[in-house]
């Protein structure tokens, strides 16, 4: 608590002292500086309205090509400054990237800044539609208190994110604001609906709109939903290819990535160890040209080691669980199809354009947009407790009753092998 109070006081003092300083000494405005200051050398041209201009250091084109502002071939004028505030889990941040293409279309020549927590900074920087990523810290708060924006999109209905949206100075604010009474307040009807979904399980369960459609409605976008996009550097792609070559020979083969993680909050988001082993054995027994990559994060170390130990095959490769997010993404990019739950891996696969088959149980199936068949969704049939957003202790739960044979056939079909799923399988195809 003492640390939070100290941080609040520091932010407040920083803002008030800066305002007093600018007002008292009548210095040229640092908040709305657009042109050439009276103190600048008239022989030099500084295009501070260029998206590449940094001020504290040379821009990338000055470093690479020696370009200077007056004759720079890479000059890119900024007409609107747009801020996106999204501090949620990495998967939520990733799926929100889909708003960027229509956002950039709506705002003329925008400079897009995204505020997020440290764990998501790396992945957002890999999105080509974001100009700058701010890690949520004291430095970001200091800049937020000073800068002005043409539009702020605060798309998270939590108190911290909505407080940042309320603090930001902007001509327009979209999403959620925190009132002086501490109440999270929607800015439009679509935001109010999303808030309702968040607070009532019954309404959440009845919802038939995807997360992306709801976010588009909040933002006022009418365009078709765009796929989120990540660009991986070439050296990382080569690294992933070299890593795979240590486990398998070169040549034509089907590579299936099995992400075993479920997250700590809802363990039933993915099959347990026993059921996952059945799926992998079925895949390896069905196709001689099929290779399976075990994928996961730090929480899946023990689970993946147990699976690798119980599946005796030289076509199963445990890829390790200690990679960075971009390394993990580069490994996934090597796969023909990903089998996973409603987890981070699903959102990464989508952003990379890798087909995925995902199983659903405790979380909403309808909120996941399928991007015209890029994602196939499967859930158990005959259960009235789906989308419960909890971790049950039932003997026959939403993961254990899905037909293993059905999953095997669907994964193989998703990998572009001509296999038709059996019609009698005890599962419901929600693609």
**Strand 169-178 and strand 184-186: pairing?**
antiparallel
Looking at the structure, tell me whether residues 159 and 289 fall in a common domain: no
Looking at the structure, tell me whether residues 331 and 267 fall in a common domain: yes
Please check the confidence at residue 60 and state whether its pLDDT lies above 60.
Answer: yes
Looking at the structure, tell me whether residues 375 and 325 fall in a common domain: yes
Please check the confidence at residue 90 and state whether its pLDDT lies above 60.
Answer: yes
- Is residue 333 a contact partner of residue 234, using CB atoms and an 8 Å limit? no
Enter the DSSP assignment of 305: H
Q: Which residue has the higher pLDDT, 356 or 38?
A: 356
The total number of structural domains that make up the chain: 3
- Poorest-pLDDT segment among 81-85, 187-191, 357-361: 357-361
Q: What angle do CA 106, 374, 103 make, to 5 degrees?
A: 10
Q: Within a domain: residue 91?
A: yes
Residue range 94-104, pLDDT digits in tens: 999 999 999 99
Q: Within a domain: residue 2?
A: no
Residue 257's H or E segment, with its range, is: strand 254-259
Looking at the structure, tell me whether residues 127 and 208 fall in a common domain: yes
Q: Within a domain: residue 19?
A: no
Q: Within a domain: residue 155?
A: yes
Tokens standing for 333? 């990019």
Last residue within a domain, chosen from 169, 196, 231: 231
Residue from 160, 159, 164, 191 nearest 175 by CA:
191
With a pLDDT cut of 90, the percent of the chain lying above it is: 56
Last residue within a domain, chosen from 231, 255, 277: 231
Looking at the structure, tell me whether residues 177 and 270 fall in a common domain: no
Q: Which residue has the higher pLDDT, 119 or 420?
A: 119
Tokens standing for 151? 């539009």
Looking at the structure, tell me whether residues 89 and 213 fall in a common domain: yes
Looking at the structure, tell me whether residues 131 and 169 fall in a common domain: yes
Looking at the structure, tell me whether residues 245 and 134 fall in a common domain: no
Residue range 143-189, pLDDT digits in tens: 999 999 999 999 999 999 999 999 999 999 999 999 999 999 999 99
Q: Within a domain: residue 201?
A: yes
Q: Within a domain: residue 25?
A: no
Q: Tell me the residue range of the domain where 64 lies.
A: 37-77
Look at the block and give the residue holding tokens 């075990």. 294
Looking at the structure, tell me whether residues 60 and 112 fall in a common domain: no
Q: Which residue has the higher pLDDT, 58 or 43?
A: 58
Last residue within a domain, chosen from 77, 92, 108: 77
**Mean of the per-residue pLDDT values of the chain:** 83
**391, burial (CB in 10 Å: exposed 0-12, middle 13-18, buried 19+):** middle
Q: Within a domain: residue 138?
A: yes
CA 300 to chain centre: 20
Looking at the structure, tell me whether residues 92 and 215 fall in a common domain: yes
Residues 6 or more apart in contact with residue 32 via CB below 8 angstroms: 148
Residue range 211-221, pLDDT digits in tens: 999 999 999 99
Q: Within a domain: residue 64?
A: yes
Tokens standing for 308? 């690798």
pLDDT at residue number 419:
38
Residue range 260-312, pLDDT digits in tens: 886 666 555 667 888 899 999 999 987 667 899 999 999 889 999 999 999 98
Q: Which residue has the higher pLDDT, 390 or 332?
A: 332
Looking at the structure, tell me whether residues 324 and 198 fall in a common domain: no
pLDDT band at 234, cuts 50/70/90?
A: very high
CATH of residue 247:
3.40.50.2000
Looking at the structure, tell me whether residues 50 and 105 fall in a common domain: no
- Is residue 131 a contact partner of residue 113, using CB atoms and an 8 Å limit? yes
pLDDT at residue number 265:
60
């Amino acid at each position: 608590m003492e640390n939070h109070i100290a941080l609040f006081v520091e932010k407040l003092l920083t803002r008030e002292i800066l305002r007093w300083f600018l007002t008292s000494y009548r210095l040229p405005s640092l908040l709305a500086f657009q042109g050439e200051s009276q103190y600048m050398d008239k022989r030099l041209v500084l295009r501070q309205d260029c998206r590449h201009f940094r001020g504290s250091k040379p821009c990338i084109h000055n470093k690479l090509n020696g370009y200077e502002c007056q004759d720079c071939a890479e000059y890119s004028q900024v007409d609107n400054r747009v801020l996106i505030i999204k501090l949620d889990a990495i998967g939520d941040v990733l799926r929100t990237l889909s708003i960027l293409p229509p956002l950039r279309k709506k705002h003329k020549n925008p400079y897009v800044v995204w505020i997020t927590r440290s764990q998501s900074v790396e992945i957002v920087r890999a999105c080509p539609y974001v100009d700058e990523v701010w890690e949520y810290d004291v430095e970001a708060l200091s800049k937020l208190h000073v800068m002005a924006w043409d539009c702020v999109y605060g798309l998270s209905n939590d108190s911290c994110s909505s407080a940042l949206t309320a603090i930001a100075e902007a001509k327009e604010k979209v999403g959620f604001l925190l009132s002086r009474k501490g109440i999270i307040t929607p800015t439009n009807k679509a935001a109010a609906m999303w808030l309702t979904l968040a607070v009532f399980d019954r309404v959440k369960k009845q919802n038939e709109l995807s997360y992306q459609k709801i976010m588009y409605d909040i933002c006022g976008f009418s365009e078709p939903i765009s796929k989120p996009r990540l660009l991986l550097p070439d050296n990382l792609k080569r690294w992933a290819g070299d890593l795979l070559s240590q486990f398998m020979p070169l040549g034509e083969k089907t590579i299936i990535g099995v992400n075993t993680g479920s997250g700590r909050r809802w363990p039933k988001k993915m099959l347990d160890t026993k059921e996952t082993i059945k799926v992998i054995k079925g895949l390896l027994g069905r196709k001689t040209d099929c290779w399976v990559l075990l994928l996961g994060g730090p929480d899946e170390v023990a689970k993946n080691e147990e699976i690798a130990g119980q599946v005796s095959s030289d076509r199963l490769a445990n890829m390790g669980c200690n990679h960075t997010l971009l390394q993990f993404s580069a490994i996934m990019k090597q796969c023909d199809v990903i089998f996973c739950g409603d987890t981070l891996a699903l959102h990464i696969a989508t952003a990379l354009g890798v087909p995925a088959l995902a199983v659903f149980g405790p979380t909403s199936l309808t909120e996941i947009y399928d991007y015209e068949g890029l994602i196939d969704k499967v859930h158990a049939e005959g259960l009235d407790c789906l989308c419960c957003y909890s971790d049950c202790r039932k003997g026959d739960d939403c993961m254990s009753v899905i037909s293993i044979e059905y999953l095997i056939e669907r994964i193989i079909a998703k990998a572009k092998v001509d296999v038709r799923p059996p019609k009698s399988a005890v599962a419901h195809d929600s693609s």
